[in-house]
Structures are given as C-alpha cells and as structure tokens.
Copies of this chain bind each other. A is one copy, B any other.
C-alpha cells in the first residue's frame, strides 16, 4: 500500500512496491490521455531549499500532466518559510495548503525530519550529498523500459564512483535483482567506497570488478552509466593527464560496445560524453530524463492514492 507513504531513501520501497510504480508508469506512457485528470483538484508543494531546476521541472511537469497544480519556491531567498522556522512547523503549515510535498534541502536528513511531522506524503528530491531516490527510480524505470528487465545485466559505472550518490544508490537498488554484475571504472582515488563493496556487493555475493580504463571492458556491458570526473578530485596531475580520456565516452569507444548496450547519465553532462555520441541510438540519457518525468507521475499518483 503506497498511499500516504513518504519516499525519503531509495530503498524505502520493496521490489514489489517499485514494481507497482513501474507498472503504472508503463500504463501512463502507453496512454497518457487516460491519466491527464487523475490529480484534478490536487496540489503539489515543491520546497526547494536549494535550486535544482531540472528536478523541479520534472516534478512540476509530472504533476501538471496528471491534471494537478503546483505551489512552491525554487530557492531559499524567496522563502520566508526558511527563516527562523523549524522544518516541523514548515511542513505542518504546508500540509494545510497542499496534498503532497517534494523537498530538496542542502542538509542531509531534512526531508526525513519533515516526514516525521507531516500529515501529507513527503518526497525527498535530494538532501545534500546524501540521497536522491527519484533519480534511482528514474534509472530503474529506464533500464526496465529499454532493456525489458532488471535482472541478468552487466552494468558499468564510469567516472567518479566515490562521491556520486546516484551511483551508490543505483548499485544498492540493482543489488536486489537477480544475476547482476558490476564493472566499476574509475581512477584509484575515486573508487566505490569500501562500505558499499562490503555491505552491499560482497554481502549479497554480487560479482564485480574494478578497472581503471573504460576501453578495457566496455564490450562486456549491457548498460553503461556515465558520471563526471572533476580534475580537482585527482591526487596528481600526471594521473589526470594519463587517465582523463578514459572517462570520456566517444564514438571510438562506442564502436567496441555491444549493439544493444545503452548509455545512461543523470545529466547535466559537461564533457564526459562527446556530442558525437548523441546521435547513436544507444545514447539513452535524454530518454532517461523523459522516464524521470513518467516515474514521478506514477509515484505522485500512488502516494496520493488516486491510481
């Protein structure tokens, strides 16, 4: 039963609950017309204590495409709510006006605190470097929709695997499905943290390998998840110069990949995927943005209990 629930962390929902959301997303994608008024009379509050236009747009578009409406703020300055008031009081007041709330906050745990005091569902839209569960739902729906399954897949993550909450969440989430293999491509200093290897991968007997260069294993992948590597994160200039091209996906590397491999990226990209790759039918990162809207439509509808 998802009605009235909060979504604070990517693992808050069981595999079955996720399946319920994804199935609804499938239906929405197939017949958007059937869903265009189901949130008629419902109000979403978007509480963005730090700006994130892309995420905000995705939620607002989702609500509008369900026939609902939106109130909100998009940065802290414009929010007197933010001044001298506890999160508890804010969310209780918001609950007087709106039916569901999305919160983005620079402080880890803020949406969780809000959920304790809220009488309406709260969705975490990113709390500091901590969690961003609807990105994970987006990634899962995209894989499920394009590959037709969430099991029996070899998934490569490439780039900064140390600091990326997106990567960590997706590794955890995929680890719940059957026969998943990971190939983790990063420089030494940006490897996946030990606790993820121990508590997630090893604990669940999941096969993985860690490599330094994308070109070495791209041919094995069903999914390639790209993230950015910032120069500042390298310990020394030499390593950066030696390795930087290994974390840029270009046409040449794509030539060695499977015909049905798909490329994902949470966006925005800087230069880690060459523009020439955009034309490749395997480049799915803009489709991914679209699935992001659909999965949020399904999520909102489920938490509101209108579907």
Interface string of A65-82 (1 = CB under 8 A from B): 100010101110111111
A33, A36, A51, A96 interface centre (most CB from chain B within 10 Å): A96
B54/A93 in contact, CB under 8 A:
yes
Interface string of A25-65 (1 = CB under 8 A from B): 00000000100100011010100000111101110110011
CB distance from A265 to the nearest CB of B (A): 10
A93/B267 in contact, CB under 8 A:
yes
List the number of copies, as a whole number. 3
User: In the complex, what residues of B have CB within 8 A of residue A89's CB?
Assistant: 267-269
A40, A69, A88, A286 interface centre (most CB from chain B within 10 Å): A69
> For this complex, into which size category does the number of interface residues on chain A fall?
35 or more
Q: Does A256 contact B (CB under 8 A)?
A: no
Give CA–CA (A268, B82) in the complex, Å.
10
A41/B57 in contact, CB under 8 A:
no
User: In the complex, what residues of B have CB within 8 A of residue A92's CB?
Assistant: 286
Q: Does A152 contact B (CB under 8 A)?
A: no
Nearest neighbor of A68 in chain B, beta-carbon distance: B64
User: In the complex, what residues of B have CB within 8 A of residue A270's CB?
Assistant: 84-85
CB distance from A25 to the nearest CB of B (A): 14
Contact partner of A65 among B43, B56, B78, B83, CB < 8 A?
Answer: B43
User: In the complex, what residues of B have CB within 8 A of residue A54's CB?
Assistant: 80-81, 93
CB distance from A250 to the nearest CB of B (A): 17
Could you jot down 6 A-B contacts, CB within 8 Å?
A58-B97, A80-B268, A81-B268, A90-B268, A97-B289, A97-B290
Question: Lowest 8 A-B CB distances belong to which pairs?
Answer: A61-B97, A85-B268, A96-B290, A53-B81, A64-B69, A96-B289, A74-B78, A60-B71
User: In the complex, what residues of B have CB within 8 A of residue A97's CB?
Assistant: 57-58, 61, 289-290, 293
Q: Does A229 contact B (CB under 8 A)?
A: no
User: In the complex, what residues of B have CB within 8 A of residue A71's CB?
Assistant: 56-57, 60-61, 64
Q: Does A98 contact B (CB under 8 A)?
A: yes
Would A36 and B45 be within 8 Å (CB), given that A79-B51, A80-B52, A98-B61 are in contact? no
User: In the complex, what residues of B have CB within 8 A of residue A224's CB?
Assistant: none
Give CA–CA (A40, B89) in the complex, Å.
32
